[in-house]
C-alpha cells in the first residue's frame, strides 16, 4: 500500500492543521505507486495549479495538471520514464545550472536523485571567523540545553549532525575568532 502523507489522513494533527488552511482536497490516488513511496497532493498557492507529488526512495517526482487526477497521471508517467531509463547521471540540471550538493540529474530522462555524488567542498571554507548568526547558533548549541534536548527528541536522526556543527563552530571560533558584531548588538 502506498504511504499517504499524514496531513491527508483524518484524525491526525497534520490533517487538522491542513484542513484549517483549506489546502487538503479529498482525493484517492489511483496509480500503482510502490509500497514504500510517500505521496501527497493539493492545489498550489500561486498559481493555484493542482499538483501531485511522490517520493519514491531516493527521488522526488511532481506532476501538475487541470485536476489532481491529471497531475497524478503526469507524475506517474514521469515515474515510469524514470524506471525505464538507462540513466546517465550528472550534476548539471537542464536550464538550472550545476548542483554541487551531491544531487544528480539524468541527461536522458531528467530524473533526479537527492544524493548520488559526494558534495563539492571548497578547500579552506572553514578557515574564517564566525559570522554573527553562527556565533548565536554556537551559543545556543552549547548553552541552550532545553532547546537541544527538545531538538534531539524531535529530530533524533539529526542529533549527530548538530553535535558536529557545535564542534566545528567551536574550533573555528578558537582558531579564527568571530566577525565584529553589527547593528544594534554592536551599539
Ligand atoms: Zn534517465
Q: Where are the domains of the chain?
A: 3-84, 87-120, 123-176
Report the CATH number of the 3-84 domain. 3.30.160
User: Does 41 have pLDDT greater than 90?
Assistant: yes
pLDDT of residue 23: 62
Cα(103) to centroid(ligand 1), Å:
14
Q: What percentage of the chain reaches a pLDDT higher than 70?
A: 93
Please give the helix or strand (H or E) that residue 166 lies within, else none: helix 159-176
Cα(28) to centroid(ligand 1), Å:
28
Higher pLDDT, 17 or 29: 29
Read off the pLDDT of each residue in 145-159 and give the average, rounded to a whole number. 90
Read off the pLDDT of each residue in 16-28 and give the average, rounded to a whole number. 73
Cα(122) to centroid(ligand 1), Å:
29
pTM over 0.85: no
- Spatial CB neighbours of 16, under 8 Å, sequence gap ≥ 6: none
Amino acid at each position: 500500500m502506498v504511504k499517504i502523507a499524514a496531513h491527508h489522513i483524518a484524525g491526525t494533527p497534520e490533517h487538522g492543521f491542513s484542513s484549517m488552511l483549506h489546502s487538503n482536497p479529498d482525493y484517492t490516488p489511483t496509480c500503482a505507486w510502490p509500497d514504500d513511496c510517500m505521496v501527497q497532493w493539493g492545489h498550489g498557492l500561486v498559481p493555484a495549479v493542482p499538483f501531485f507529488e511522490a517520493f519514491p526512495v531516493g527521488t522526488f517526482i511532481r506532476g501538475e495538471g487541470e485536476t489532481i487526477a491529471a497531475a497524478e497521471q503526469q507524475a506517474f508517467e514521469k515515474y515510469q520514464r524514470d524506471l525505464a531509463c538507462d540513466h546517465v547521471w550528472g550534476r548539471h540540471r537542464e536550464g538550472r545550472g550545476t548542483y554541487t550538493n551531491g544531487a544528480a540529474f539524468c541527461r536522458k530522462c531528467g530524473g533526479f536523485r537527492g544524493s548520488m555524488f559526494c558534495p563539492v567542498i571548497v578547500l579552506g571554507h572553514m578557515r574564517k571567523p564566525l559570522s554573527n548568526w553562527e556565533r548565536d547558533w554556537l551559543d545556543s548549541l552549547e548553552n541552550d540545553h532545553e532547546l537541544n534536548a527538545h531538538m534531539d527528541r524531535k529530530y533524533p536522526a539529526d542529533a549527530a549532525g548538530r553535535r558536529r556543527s557545535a564542534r566545528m563552530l567551536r574550533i573555528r571560533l578558537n582558531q579564527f575568532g568571530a566577525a565584529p558584531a553589527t547593528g544594534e548588538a554592536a551599539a
